[in-house]
C-alpha cells in the first residue's frame, strides 16, 4: 500500500513526535565552509570576487552586474499579455493586503508630565534576493518589493542570478520595475549575499537582506546575520502540513502535498488525518498525479521525507500541529474553527477545500516568505513591519521629572548604577534650587 515510501504513523505516542517533526537536514559544516570562503574573498576583492564566483557557479562572465534601465524597460515586450495581466492582479491583491498593515504612530501621557511616543520609520536600504535559473521566482519580487515600496524604503536593491550572457529573466525585470526596485544586479548565490553584506565597488551595502534561496544562499544569510547584517528570518526548505478530516477531497489533498513537494528534494509535507481510512485514497491520488508532473523525480524524492500521521484524539491533533509549527498549514476538516482557535504556531493558514497553498504563493494577497523548520514558533512571515523599525520617543516636563525621579533613583541605586541615579538627582537639585530662589 505504501508504494510512495511515505511513512505512516498510526496513533504515535508523544515521545515520538519530536522524531516525526524533524526536518530533512544536510551536514551544514561543508556548506558553511564554502560560504565563509566566499565571504572572505568578496570582502578582500569585492567586484572581482563576485565576477569570479558568477563565472564559476552560473557560467556568467559578464563584467557589469548592474542591469541597464533600457533593458529593464524592454522586458515588458518579451512577456505575454496574459502573464502581465496575472502579475497585475496579484500585485493589486498583495498591495491591498500589505497597505492595510500600516499602523499609525502613537503618543500617550503615561503619567502627568511624561509623554511616550512610538513612531515608524522605513529601513533605508534593503536587499532582495530572488532565485533565478530554472525557476525564476517573479512572485517573490512582488512579495518583497511591494511591502518595501509601501514602507518607503529609499533604496530597494535586487540581486538575482544571470545567465551565461549576463541576462536576467525578463519576468523578474518587468515585475521589479512595477514594484519600485531601484537597482537590479545580475548576481546570484552566496556571492550576492556577501556583496550586499559588505558592499562592493558596484553593489551597495544594505541594512537588511530578504528572500529565499538554496542551502548556500540560506547559509550565507545566516552568516551575514552573524556578521551584523539583519535578515528577514531563518529559513530552510519549503514545507506543508495538511489537516485532512471528514469532508476533505483526496484529489485536492494530494495536489496540495505535491505542490510543495516539487519545490526540492529536501522539501517536506505532512498529512494529519482524523480517520486512518483517509490515507489510502490520498495515496492513490498521489500516485496518479505524481506521474503527470514534469518535476516528478524531485517531488517523489521529497515525499520520502514526508509522513501521514493518524491521531484519534482531536486535542492530540492540534497539539501535534503546534509542535510541528508548519510554514504552510491547510485545514480541510469540519472542525475548522477548532483547529484555528487552538492554533499557536504556523506561518500561513489556508482554510477549506478551495484554499490551495499555491493561491497564497502567488496572488491571494498574503506574503509567501515564511518561517520554516519550526521557526514559526517564534517568527512571523514577511509583512510590512519587516521593512520598518519602530522608534520610541519620550519627553518629560519638569513636573514629569519630579513625579518620576525618585522611582528612577531608587531602581538605579538598587542596580548599583549610581551615574544613572545622579543624572536624575542633578536635575531634581536644580529644580529645587530654582524654586527656592523664586
According to the 3-state scheme, what is the secondary structure of 204-235?
CCCCEEECCCCHHHHHHHHHHHHCCCEECCCC
Residues 17 and 19: their CA atoms lie apart, in Å, by 5
- 391: burial class by Cβ within 10 Å (0-12, 13-18, 19+)? exposed
Out of 98, 197, 263, 328, pick the active-site residue. 328
- How, if at all, do strands 307-310 and 208-210 pair? unpaired
- How, if at all, do strands 388-396 and 230-231 pair? unpaired
- E strand map for 39-113: 106-111
Q: What residues contact residue 89 under an 8 Å CB cut-off, 6+ apart?
A: 363
Catalytic residue status for 420: no
Cα–Cα nearest to 168, from 82, 52, 53, 64: 64
Length of the chain: 438
Per DSSP, 392 falls in state: E
Out of 183, 285, 327, 357, pick the active-site residue. 327
Q: What residues contact residue 156 under an 8 Å CB cut-off, 6+ apart?
A: 126, 128, 145, 148, 149, 179, 180, 181, 182, 183
Cα–Cα nearest to 207, from 294, 292, 125: 125
Work out the angle between the directed axes of helices 250-261 and 296-303 (0-180°, nearest 10). Answer: 100
Work out the angle between the directed axes of helices 47-58 and 189-198 (0-180°, nearest 10). Answer: 170
Per DSSP, 66 falls in state: B
Residues 9 and 16 sit within 8 Å (Cβ to Cβ): yes
Residue for cell digits 541576462?
167
**Cα dihedral value 249, 312, 328, 269, nearest 10:** -80
Catalytic residue status for 327: yes
Instruction: State the cell numbers at 371.
Output: 518561517
Residues 305 and 272 sit within 8 Å (Cβ to Cβ): no
Q: Helix, strand, coil proportions of the chain in percent (round to 5)?
A: 50, 15, 35
Torsion angles phi and psi, residue 19, rounded to 5: -65, -45
Catalytic site residues? Answer: 327-328
Amino acid at each position: 500500500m505504501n508504494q510512495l515510501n511515505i511513512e505512516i504513523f498510526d496513533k504515535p505516542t508523544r515521545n515520538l513526535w519530536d522524531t516525526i517533526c524533524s526536518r530533512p537536514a544536510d551536514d551544514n559544516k561543508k556548506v558553511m565552509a564554502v560560504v565563509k570562503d566566499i565571504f572572505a574573498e568578496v570582502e578582500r576583492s569585492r567586484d572581482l570576487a563576485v565576477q569570479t564566483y558568477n563565472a564559476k557557479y552560473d557560467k556568467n562572465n559578464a563584467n557589469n552586474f548592474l542591469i541597464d534601465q533600457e533593458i529593464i524597460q524592454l522586458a515588458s515586450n518579451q512577456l505575454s499579455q496574459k502573464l502581465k495581466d496575472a502579475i497585475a492582479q496579484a500585485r493589486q491583491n498583495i498591495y491591498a493586503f500589505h497597505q492595510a498593515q500600516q499602523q499609525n504612530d502613537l503618543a500617550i501621557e503615561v503619567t502627568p508630565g511624561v509623554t511616550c511616543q512610538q513612531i515608524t520609520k522605513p529601513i533605508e536600504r534593503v536587499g532582495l534576493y530572488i532565485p533565478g535559473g530554472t525557476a525564476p521566482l517573479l512572485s517573490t519580487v512582488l512579495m518583497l518589493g511591494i511591502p518595501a515600496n509601501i514602507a518607503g524604503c529609499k533604496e530597494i536593491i535586487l540581486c538575482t542570478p544571470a545567465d551565461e550572457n549576463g541576462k536576467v529573466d525578463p519576468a523578474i525585470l518587468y515585475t521589479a520595475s512595477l514594484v519600485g526596485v531601484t537597482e537590479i544586479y545580475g548576481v546570484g548565490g552566496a556571492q550576492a549575499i556577501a556583496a550586499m553584506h559588505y558592499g562592493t565597488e558596484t553593489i551597495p551595502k544594505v541594512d537588511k537582506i530578504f528572500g529565499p534561496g538554496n542551502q548556500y544562499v540560506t547559509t550565507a544569510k545566516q552568516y551575514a546575520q552573524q556578521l551584523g547584517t539583519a535578515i528577514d528570518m531563518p529559513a530552510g526548505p519549503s514545507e506543508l502540513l495538511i489537516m485532512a478530516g471528514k469532508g476533505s477531497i483526496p484529489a485536492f489533498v494530494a495536489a496540495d502535498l505535491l505542490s510543495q513537494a516539487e519545490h526540492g528534494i529536501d522539501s517536506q509535507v505532512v498529512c494529519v488525518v482524523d480517520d486512518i481510512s483517509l490515507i489510502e485514497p490520498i495515496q492513490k491520488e498521489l500516485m496518479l498525479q505524481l506521474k503527470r508532473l514534469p518535476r516528478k523525480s524531485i517531488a517523489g524524492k521529497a515525499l520520502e521525507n514526508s509522513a501521514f500521521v493518524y491521531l484519534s484524539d482531536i486535542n492530540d491533533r492540534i497539539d501535534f500541529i503546534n509542535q510541528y509549527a508548519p510554514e504552510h498549514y491547510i485545514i480541510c476538516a469540519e472542525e475548522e474553527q477548532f483547529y484555528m482557535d487552538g492554533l499557536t504556531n504556523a506561518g500561513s493558514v489556508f482554510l477549506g477545500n478551495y484554499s490551495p497553498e499555491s493561491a497564497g504563493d502567488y496572488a491571494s494577497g498574503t506574503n509567501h516568505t515564511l518561517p520554516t523548520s519550526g521557526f514559526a514558533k517564534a517568527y512571523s512571515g514577511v509583512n510590512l513591519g519587516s521593512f520598518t523599525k519602530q522608534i520610541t520617543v519620550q519627553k518629560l516636563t519638569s513636573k514629569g521629572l519630579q513625579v518620576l525621579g525618585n522611582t528612577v533613583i531608587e531602581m538605579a541605586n538598587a542596580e548599583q548604577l549610581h551615574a544613572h541615579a545622579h543624572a536624575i538627582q542633578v536635575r531634581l537639585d536644580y529644580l529645587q534650587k530654582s524654586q527656592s530662589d523664586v
